[in-house]
Each structure stands twice: as structure tokens, then as C-alpha cells.
């Protein structure tokens, strides 16, 4: 218990250190440029303290409960799969448990990502409820799941990273021209917010563990790239979700009109 | 928006927190399920330190609930008040300076970036771009961090400029993608993986809500801008320019 308290204090300090530059910049601009007191400063201060405390508590909990389990599991899964194939050449099919784990972890960590929750809340508020925050988060999480699983497949097969990323970019460009204007900025943003506090450590451990255990891969070179996958694929899944929803709505409207006419 | 939750007294706060805790439980349920499933069914091992894990889980749930509760009353109003103040002030230069400082200042000390830059320095030394002394690696890692932080600063500047002018976002992003693809061909192979990853690690949990609120606040204060169309997109810029910066750095060094 005492150890936990000490850990909490340490995490709180490091969180404070991370936000110090933000606080300094905000105070300088507020006092130096705007020269005005913030409206409702008490509410903002209380809320900011809650965000800090909450984040520190969240991080310490992750370190206690999730990261050790997630990291050990990533390593063990990669090792078990690695042993099975060490005798012969690397066959990508032998790693199916790893892909399954990658997809499940990618999905689950993204749903819990605090930054994504924040953006989804904002999107709901701005769109007047048209964007369903839960739907948005599920779409993003599906994208991360597919991306991370494909990224693991790439590490196992050792195929060049640029092929995948360039192909993904081409798909995103095509989708951009197919989808409605209003969803595009939000979809692009969803790529950047997925990879924060929860997702990066677990996914990075998975990539490093896999690269270290697959014969012929170097963790230094092949361990990179999973985060890139996790940042591009959500853009695709959000745009895909929006395009499908739009087409469905159009199709439904057309059918209704036909029913009225007949 | 409920800015003044603490003025409604403790019972109100307790009720709101209870709601947030339920929400947090729902958000975290998938993680719990995945970890339990793989530990028990696939690996068939008991949890290594169950008591610690349980205490950790309680911390995670409480922490997420507090964080989300504080967003609505703290970070969002802060970003919006700042955006409105700057927009009323009417000085584009001050606004762009703030944009650069926010991007640069929040990135340069980002722990995830420090970790990735250190890894990148190891790769570079293995590929013999730089000497394998610790000093050479440290310098390389520091330069990478500065490059990424400048890139994020410029990204927010460009993104804010876009909001002011109402330019459509997709031209910038697609242009950026094309640039990344072209640079991939010319950049040394060893730096490509690290460059691609650098886009994802720059935006932290505190920065994202603040920057989003800033963008949306600007777009809703400036006449003729639509918060949905123009307010979002700052994060997208901040995840694209670091790739260009790091690829460019790899081509120069």
C-alpha cells in the first residue's frame, strides 16, 4: 500500500512535469497577450486538477494491472508461436494467435483511450448529436484492430513497411473523394488520437516481442511500424463507416419513395 | 455545458462521478475481457499477482472517470476561452505564435517521443549513419526530438491558418501524403520506420483535448466558419508533419 502511494506520487509528479510547458504557455499568453482573467477560473482550475489527478491515477493503475500482463502476454505468445516454427522456415499462418491477440488488444485499448473519448465528446457536441460518440469510437477501434493485426503480419513476413503505408494512403485518398465533406476533418483527426497512453506501450511491446522472437527479424529495424499502422487504419475505417452509412441512408430513402409511389 | 459543477454541492458531484464511473467501467470492459481471455484460455496460466492487478483496475476505473469529468469543466472551457480571447483580440501573429508554442512546447518533452527517438538513435548507429559512441547517439536523439517538435509547432500554425482562411483540409493532407510517399523513395531505408511512427507518438492525452477545443473554439468564434468542417483537423496536421520532418532529417544527415 505504501509502495502504491509512492508510485502514485511519482506518477503525479511526472504528469505535472509533462503539463508544465502547457501551463507556462497558457499563463504567458493569458497574462501577456490577452491581459484578462479567464471566465469562471474556479471551475476551470477544479476541472484541470481533476484531469491531472485522474490521468495520474489512470496511469498508475495501468502500470499495476495492464501493462505487465499485456507485455508478458505479448512476449509469451510470440515465443510460443516462435518455437512452433523454429524447426522449419517461418510460415505466417503459425502466428494466428498473435494476430488475434493483436486485433483484440488494438480494439480494447483504443476503446479505453482517454484522448479518443475527449474527441468523440467534442464531435458529439459540435455536430449537435449527429455524430454518435460510441459509434465513432467503435469505428476507430476496428481500424486500429485491423491495422495492428496487419502490422504483426508484416513483421512476421518481413515485407517492406512502405508498401503497406503507401497502399493505405492511396485508399484514404480515394475514400476522401467518395465521402461527405463534414466527416473528413474528424476522420483525419481520429488517426492521431488513437495512439496515446494506453495503446502505445502495449502495441510497442507486442511489436518488439514479435520482432525479437521471429527468426530473421531484428527488433531494432522491424519493431517499428505498428504505431504507423495504428494511425492510418482508423482514418480508413471512419471514412468507410461514414460512406456506408450515407449510402444506406440514400438507399433507404429511395426505397421509401418507391413504396410511396407504388 | 456545465461549467460550474462544484457550485451545485457535493451530492450533485457524487452523482456525476457515479455516472462517470459506470461509463469508465463500460470503456474498460473490453480490455478486462481480452486480458482475462488470453491469460486463462489461451496461455492457461493464473494471473501473476492478482491483488496488485485488482488494485490497479480500481485505480484505472476511478482515474478515467475523474479525467472525463474534469474534461468538461476544465480542459474544454480552457481551450475555448483561449480561442475566443485570441480571436477577439484580432492579432493573427499572436494567435500563430501561440499555436507554434503549444505545438512545440507540448511535443519536445513528450515521454513517448523521447523513447522513440532513443530507439531511432540506436538504429542509426547500427546502420552506421553516426558513430556508435553514446554522445553521438544522444545528439542524434536530441536533434530528432527538436525536428519533430518544430514540425508539430509548424503543423498547428498551418492548421490554425487553415481555420482562419477556411481552406479545405483534404488538399493539405493529400498533398502531405504525396510528399511522404515521394520522400520515402529517397530517404535512407533505416529511418523510414521511425519516421512513420513519429507521427503517432506526438499527440498526448492532455494535448489532444486542449488542441481540439482550441480549434473548435476558433472555428465557432470566427464568422463564416463551421466548427465541424473547420474546427477539427489540427491533430491530423500534427500527426503528418513529423513524418515529413524526420524523413527530411534522414535525407540531410
So what's the pLDDT on residue A90?
62
Residues of chain B positioned with their CB less than 8 A from the CB of A180 = none
pLDDT in tens, A23-73: 888 888 888 887 777 777 888 888 888 888 988 888 888 888 777 777 777
Find how far residue A231's CA is from the centre of its chain: 7
So what's the pLDDT on residue A233?
94
Closest CA to A116 of A151, A152, A81, A140: A140
In chain A, whose CA is at the least distance from the CA of B243? Answer: A228
| Mean of pLDDT over chain B | 85
Residues of chain B positioned with their CB less than 8 A from the CB of A38 = 78, 81
Residues of chain B positioned with their CB less than 8 A from the CB of A29 = 82, 86, 94, 98, 101
Residues of chain A positioned with their CB less than 8 A from the CB of B213 = 122
Residue A197 has pLDDT above 80, yes or no: no
pLDDT in tens, B2-43: 444 445 577 888 888 888 899 889 988 988 888 888 778 877
CB contact (8 A) between residue A43 and residue B4: yes
Residue A1 has pLDDT above 80, yes or no: no
So what's the pLDDT on residue A83?
65
Average confidence (pLDDT) over B132-138:
83
d(CA B28, CA B16): 18
d(CA B106, CA B100): 10
**Interface contacts A/B by beta carbons within 8 Å:** 349
pLDDT in tens, B220-248: 988 889 988 999 999 999 999 999 999 99
pLDDT in tens, B140-192: 889 999 999 999 999 999 999 999 999 999 999 999 999 999 999 999 888 88
- Name residues whose C-beta falls within 8 Å of residue B184's C-beta, 6 or more positions apart in sequence: A162, A165, A166, B192, B247
CB contact (8 A) between residue B169 and residue A184: yes
pLDDT in tens, A68-85: 777 777 777 777 766 665
Q: Least CB-CB distance to A51: which of B53, B70, B94?
A: B70
For chain B, the three-class secondary structure string (H helix, E strand, C coil) is: CCCCHHHHCHHHHHHHHHHHHHHHHHHHHHHHHHHHHHHHHHCCCCCCCHHHHHHHHHHHHHHHHHHHHHHHHHHHHHHHHHHHHHHHHCCHHHHHHHHHHHHHHHHHCCHHHHHHHHHHHHHHHHCCCCCCCHHHHHHHHHHHHHHHHHHHHHHHHHHHHHHHHCCCHHHHHHHHHHHHHHHHHHCCHHHHHHHHHHHHHCCCCCHHHHHHHHHHHHHHHCCCCCHHHHHCCHHHHHHHHHHHHHHHHHHHC
CB contact (8 A) between residue A47 and residue B72: yes
Q: Least CB-CB distance to A55: which of B35, B205, B228?
A: B205
Closest CA to A66 of B204, B31, B50: B31
Distances (CA, A) of B221 to A103, B78, B84, B218, B227: 41, 15, 6, 5, 9
Residues of chain A positioned with their CB less than 8 A from the CB of B231 = 126, 185
pLDDT in tens, B79-129: 888 888 888 887 889 899 999 998 998 888 777 788 778 878 887 787 777
In chain A, whose CA is at the least distance from the CA of B82? Answer: A30
d(CA B150, CA B248): 13
Decide: B100 and B154 in contact? Cβ < 8 Å.
yes
Amino acid at each position: 500500500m505504501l509502495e502504491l502511494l509512492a508510485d502514485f506520487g511519482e506518477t503525479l509528479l511526472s504528469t505535472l512535469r509533462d503539463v508544465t510547458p502547457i501551463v507556462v504557455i497558457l499563463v504567458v499568453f493569458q497574462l501577456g497577450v490577452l491581459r484578462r482573467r479567464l471566465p469562471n477560473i474556479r471551475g476551470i482550475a477544479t476541472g484541470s486538477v481533476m484531469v491531472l489527478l485522474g490521468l495520474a491515477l489512470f496511469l498508475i493503475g495501468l502500470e499495476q494491472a495492464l501493462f505487465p500482463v499485456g507485455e508478458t502476454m505479448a512476449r509469451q505468445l510470440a515465443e510460443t508461436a516462435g518455437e512452433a516454427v523454429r524447426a522449419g522456415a517461418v510460415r505466417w499462418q503459425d502466428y494466428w494467435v498473435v494476430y488475434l491477440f493483436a486485433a483484440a488488444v488494438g480494439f480494447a485499448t483504443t476503446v479505453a483511450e482517454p484522448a479518443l473519448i475527449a474527441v468523440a465528446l467534442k464531435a458529439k457536441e459540435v455536430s449537435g448529436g449527429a455524430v454518435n460518440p460510441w459509434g465513432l469510437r467503435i469505428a476507430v477501434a476496428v481500424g486500429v484492430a485491423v491495422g495492428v493485426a496487419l502490422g504483426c503480419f508484416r513483421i512476421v513476413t518481413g515485407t517492406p513497411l512502405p508498401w503497406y503505408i503507401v497502399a493505405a494512403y492511396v485508399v484514404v485518398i480515394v475514400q476522401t473523394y467518395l465521402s461527405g465533406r463534414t466527416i473528413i476533418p474528424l476522420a483525419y483527426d481520429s488517426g492521431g488520437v488513437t495512439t496515446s497512453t494506453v495503446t502505445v506501450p502495449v502495441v510497442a511491446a507486442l511489436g518488439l516481442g514479435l520482432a525479437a522472437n521471429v527468426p530473421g527479424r531484428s527488433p531494432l529495424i522491424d519493431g517499428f511500424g505498428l504505431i504507423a499502422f495504428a494511425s492510418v487504419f482508423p482514418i480508413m475505417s471512419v471514412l468507410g463507416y461514414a460512406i456506408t452509412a450515407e449510402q444506406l441512408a440514400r438507399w433507404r430513402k429511395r426505397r421509401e419513395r418507391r413504396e410511396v409511389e407504388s | 455545458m456545465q461549467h460550474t459543477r462544484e457550485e451545485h454541492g457535493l451530492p450533485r458531484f457524487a452523482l456525476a462521478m457515479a455516472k462517470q464511473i459506470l461509463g469508465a467501467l463500460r470503456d474498460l470492459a473490453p480490455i478486462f475481457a481480452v486480458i482475462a481471455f488470453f491469460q486463462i484460455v489461451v496461455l492457461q496460466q493464473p494471473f501473476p499477482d492478482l491483488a496488485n492487478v485488482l488494485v490497479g483496475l480500481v485505480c484505472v476505473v476511478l482515474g478515467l472517470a475523474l479525467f472525463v469529468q474534469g474534461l468538461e469543466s476544465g480542459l474544454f472551457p480552457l481551450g475555448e476561452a483561449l480561442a475566443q480571447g485570441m480571436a477577439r483580440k484580432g492579432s493573427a501573429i499572436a494567435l500563430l505564435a501561440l499555436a507554434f508554442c503549444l505545438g512545440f512546447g507540448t511535443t519536445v518533452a513528450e515521454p513517448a517521443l523521447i523513447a522513440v527517438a532513443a530507439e531511432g538513435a540506436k538504429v542509426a548507429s547500427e546502420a552506421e549513419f553516426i558513430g556508435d559512441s553514446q554522445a553521438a547517439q544522444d545528439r542524434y536523439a536530441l536533434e530528432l526530438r527538436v525536428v519533430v517538435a518544430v514540425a508539430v509547432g509548424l503543423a498547428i500554425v498551418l492548421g490554425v491558418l487553415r481555420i482562419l482562411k477556411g481552406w479545405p483540409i483534404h488538399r493539405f493532407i493529400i498533398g502531405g501524403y504525396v510528399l511522404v510517399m515521394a520522400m520515402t523513395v529517397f530517404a535512407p531505408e533505416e529511418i523510414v520506420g521511425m519516421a512513420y511512427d513519429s507521427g503517432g507518438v506526438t499527440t498526448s492525452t492532455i494535448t489532444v483535448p486542449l488542441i481540439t477545443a482550441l480549434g473548435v473554439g476558433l472555428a465557432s468564434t470566427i464568422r463564416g466558419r463551421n466548427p465541424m468542417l473547420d474546427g477539427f483537423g489540427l491533430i491530423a496536421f500534427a500527426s503528418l508533419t513529423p513524418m515529413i520532418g524526420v524523413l527530411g532529417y534522414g535525407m540531410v544527415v
